[in-house]
Structure 1
Amino acid sequence: MAEPKWLEDMNKDEYLKEDFDASGKSIAGTTIDSIDKNDPEWLDKAAKKVNAAEGDDYVKLDSGLMTVNQLNWMLQNTIGELTFVDDNNQFLWYNRPKDPNYKMKAGRKPEQVGDTMKAIHPDVRDVIPNAKKVVHALRTKESGHDDVYMPVPTGNLKQLILHYYKRVEDDKGNYVGIYEWVQDLYPLVKYFCETTGQKLVIDPDAVSGATYRRNSDPDAATGASTKAKEVKEKHKEKTDATSSASEH
């Protein structure tokens, strides 16, 4: 993935100290002890221990009241893949796809819930060091940033994968974890371009190799869609025909 320059310049000695064994406790006091974090049945065992709400149980949120089922249904149908890791570097949740045949871009399995960050990342090349870099940057608000954008260059304009990491804070501004959103932006970009008259092209000067450029069509430059232009031209032809007929 292509990382921003400010992230590349981070102190390696500092971010490598991130505890991906999740051996500590969450600042929010929500870490569930006495259950092996990497246990494939962690979710069921932990939920039972804390008498977690489930099914038709209601959950009062800061701006709403929903059942656990309603929350699950909504999140299963939310665009993109969502993940939450707490400040103790423990993987606690992801929005499991409703479609069993859907292939996740950032693959997750139910039995991974509860795992440490070390367990869910393959120990190959720079995967774990790079993951530690992102976590540490958001934990410390490195260079004032509270989010990280990571595009995945593929050289294919019809596949625009983006990983977005957002620092999550409690009501007092304390770091309590990271929310990750992964999405192929192409379907959104395709619709946007089709309805605005713009197009996606290769830009040799761009770092990632792809950027937006307006269509050379002056109508596109004003934000008019291709369809809108066609309607305009047809209207003009009809007007000219009517005008010509009236002269004769």
Structure 2
Amino acid sequence: MTTPRSAQTLKRRGLLLVLSSPSGAGKTTLSRALLAEDEAITLSVSVTTRPPRPGEVDGRDYHFVDPARFDAMAKGGELLEWALVFGHLYGTPRAPVMAALKAGRDVLFDIDWQGTQQLRQADAKNDLVSIFLLPPSMTELARRLAGRATDSAEVVASRMARAKDEISHWAEYDHVLINDDAAVCLADIRAILTAARLRRRRQEGLVDFVRELMKDQASPST
């Protein structure tokens, strides 16, 4: 009789979980909450040309590089995706993401619609699960941005102007959630993640498990 295995022990290929939203809609808060409670998921650390903000650590929050280095990485195929956002370049290093997928770890992306489109065209496109977060209203979005107290009125106005363009891409995503309650929205993200992990094609150890199951000649209990 073969030794039984649970679904939790099956070999699984990792996935790319994208959270996108206009600035202020809650993706950073939800990303941090998801990372804090799920050890099987890791945050993709982007490379950027913007200068570090107070408290940010190179290699933890971002990989901070100059434009020349970023250009070399983009031309050399070292980035899965990249985009120009608010005057600065942001991109996703390819090597650590592909290594995580192979090891069965999921990678969380906090990127915009431009980066998501590029991921859909990359060699890991079949591993992509995308979620777009909508604010409950534009008034609430403006209130959240103003409440940060970290951006000037000009920056808040710029982010609000950009928000409509970002929201116009909602239909390009696999899932769309309205973030009017962070706890409920986090539960919905967990549900989406669980379902994606259980897709047949993602469970690489399932074929061997079924073969062992079919070989099991144990007699039914009487």
Provide TM-score, normalisation by structure 2: 0.29
Structure with the bigger RCO (C-alpha within 8 Å, sep 6+) is: 2
Which is richer in helix?
2
Provide TM-score, normalisation by structure 1: 0.27
The structure number with the bigger radius of gyration is 1
